[in-house]
Amino acid sequence: MLGSTPCNSLLITPIFTTLLIILLYPSNAQLSSTFYSSTCPSVSSIVRSVVQQALQSDSRIGASLTRLHFHDCFVNGCDGSILLDQGVNITLSEKNATPNNNSARGFDVVDNIKTSVENSCPGVVSCADILALAAQASVALAGGPSWNVLVGRRDGVMANQSGANASIPTPFESLAIISAKFAAVGLNITDLVALSGAHTFGRAQCRFFNQRLFNFSGTGSPDPTLSSTYLATLQQNCPQNGSGTTLNNLDPSSADAFDSNYFKNLLNNKGLLQSDQELFSTNGSATISIVNNFATNQTAFFEAFAQSMINMGNVSPLTGNQGEIRSNCRKVNGS
Ligand code: HEM
Ligand SMILES: *[C@@H]1O[C@H](CO)[C@@H](O)[C@H](O)[C@H]1NC(C)=O
Ligand SMILES: *[C@@H]1O[C@H](CO)[C@@H](O)[C@H](O)[C@H]1NC(C)=O
Ligand SMILES: *[C@@H]1O[C@H](CO)[C@@H](O)[C@H](O)[C@H]1NC(C)=O
Ligand SMILES: *[C@@H]1O[C@H](CO)[C@@H](O)[C@H](O)[C@H]1NC(C)=O
Ligand SMILES: *[C@@H]1O[C@H](CO)[C@@H](O)[C@H](O)[C@H]1NC(C)=O
Ligand SMILES: *[C@@H]1O[C@H](CO)[C@@H](O)[C@H](O)[C@H]1NC(C)=O
Ligand SMILES: *[C@@H]1O[C@H](CO)[C@@H](O)[C@H](O)[C@H]1NC(C)=O
Ligand SMILES: *[C@@H]1O[C@H](CO)[C@@H](O)[C@H](O)[C@H]1NC(C)=O
Ligand SMILES: *[C@@H]1O[C@H](CO)[C@@H](O)[C@H](O)[C@H]1NC(C)=O
């Protein structure tokens, strides 16, 4: 009898074990680049065309959308939770958490993307995947790398405001703390340096770096790791007692282009945020050689950025029958 040969049981056992693992851990299901190839084959180009249209009237929007994906993934995984409005079912939204309140933007464009995607493929594409696809389109449209976005995420039904307060790095923290927040979601310092390169485009409000400009850490002087010429410019744009909401380019040398200038700036002490400059100016840090590499080799940066975006996009997605496909990115279905 074939069924009783040791050869066959050797074959059956691993198959059975694999099945058992799949049944026991549905959350370990993999995302895939072809998840929508039969149910919504043009989803990437739909997302891209809405982003492209939004860029016509707002050159910053690609940066804002890229940041939304980051802030989504760092809180309960990439589950679209940042998009949920505070309301009946969401008592404390992530939108209103400290790192996002009066800062995260692009929610209206996400709605436009969702509407456009629903028109072609109703009820199929998650809001969490829309954020991942919009980030890729935004980077590519700004001259950065393209990569195959892994999709198949489903949308969460809850928000975690305290989680957003605690897990999203702030620009005032040390490199050690920021590295620990990346490590907490499985990202290492190569990911940290590469992903920080997203600050090659977009804007930051004075309130996120003006602690560096006049009396840094109670020293009575500006941050010594800030270039004196850049300091003078920033002091003018963000005067003491001035508005904390005035906008500044994160990359003064090429504001809206996705390139390696962010890293070249760090070599010249022209990182805007304390958390940016720390990557290069923390004595003895393993991040320094990575910054040097990305500053001198844009190809190395682009390849690492694409890989790290995939790594970040893989943070605890909901898959299979977990969560839902929201019909409105701002609300849990039926609420
Ligand atoms: C490493 C820790 C990080 C810190 C402390 C940080 C902090 C910040 C801050 C304070 C701003 C300015 C927000 C405002 O003025 O309203 C900002 C903007 C931005 N961040 Fe980060 N960030 C970090 C990592 C990342 C990552 C990993 C990405 C994406 C991969 C990212 C993408 C962006 C983009 C594109 C902007 C500009 C957004 C816009 O113009 O609307 N950041 N970040
Ligand atoms: C919304 O929340 C209420 C109470 O908090 C709950 O009874 C209801 O089931 C929730 N609805 C959905 C669709 O989650
Ligand atoms: C968010 O900002 C608004 C001001 O625009 C403020 O009234 C509100 O208290 C802030 N929310 C939180 C949770 O800090
Ligand atoms: C998040 O932080 C803000 C500012 O400290 C605070 O007002 C808010 O209550 C916090 N949210 C939660 C749920 O802890
Ligand atoms: C909220 O986020 C925190 C920190 O990321 C996490 O420890 C906590 O388990 C989350 N809460 C829920 C209910 O998911
Ligand atoms: C970070 O992880 C990647 C794999 O995703 C690996 O190639 C890289 O060497 C790691 N970096 C460090 C500093 O360990
Ligand atoms: C800088 O801040 C420290 C601590 O807050 C304070 O004691 C000191 O007087 C300030 N120095 C100046 C020049 O404002
Ligand atoms: C800023 O405001 C404080 C308190 O109102 C005042 O003492 C200080 O002189 C002001 N500084 C400048 C540069 O206007
Ligand atoms: C880092 O090293 C430089 C040069 O050795 C030194 O001037 C600086 O004070 C050090 N910075 C810190 C924060 O230790
Ligand atoms: C730049 O980085 C790429 C990708 O890592 C590598 O293949 C290439 O050899 C590097 N170029 C130089 C000049 O070091």
How do the domains of the chain map onto residue ranges?
43-167, 175-312
pLDDT of residue 88: 86
Residue 6 has pLDDT above 50, yes or no: no
Catalytic member of 71, 95, 105, 270:
71
Ligand 6 binding pocket (C-beta < 6 A) is 188-190, 311
Per-residue pLDDT tens digits for 61-96: 999 999 999 999 999 999 999 999 999 899 999 999
18: phi then psi, degrees, rounded to nearest 5: -60, -45
Q: Is 69 a catalytic residue?
A: no
- Measured CA distances, 306 to 150, 151, 299, 303 (Å): 11, 15, 11, 5
As a whole number, mean pLDDT of residues 45-55 equals 98
Exposure b/e, 2-35, CB count within 10 A at least 16 = b: eeeeeeeeeeeeeeeeeeeeeeeeeeeeebeeeb
The residue behind tokens 């709605």 is: 111
Query: Residue 295 and residue 196: Cα distance in Å, rounded?
Result: 13
User: pLDDT category, 11, cuts 50, 70, 90?
Assistant: very low
In tens, the pLDDT along 176-233 reads 999 999 999 999 999 999 999 999 999 999 999 999 999 999 999 999 999 999 999 9
Helix then strand count (H, E) for the chain reads: 13, 2
Residue 14's alpha-carbon distances to 21, 26, 119, 241, 320, in angstroms, are 10, 18, 43, 67, 22
Distance 195 CA to ligand 9 centre (A): 26
What atom of ligand 1 comes closest to residue 275's alpha carbon?
5
Say if CB 129 and CB 33 are below 8 A apart.
Answer: no
Comparing 43-167 with 175-312, is the CATH topology the same?
no
User: What is the spatial distance between Cα 141 and Cα 145, in angstroms, rounded to a whole number?
Assistant: 9
Topology of domain 175-312, per CATH? Peroxidase; domain 2 (1.10.420)
CB 232 within 8 A of CB 223: no
Q: Would you say 79 is a known binding-site residue?
A: yes
Tell me the CA distances in angstroms from 259 to 63, 229, 315, one per residue in order: 13, 22, 25
With CA atoms as reference, report the closest residue to 225 among 281, 179, 169.
281
Centroid of chain to Cα 126: 17
pLDDT band at 29 (very low <50, low <70, confident <90, very high): low
Query: What CATH number does the domain located at 43-167 have?
Result: 1.10.520.10
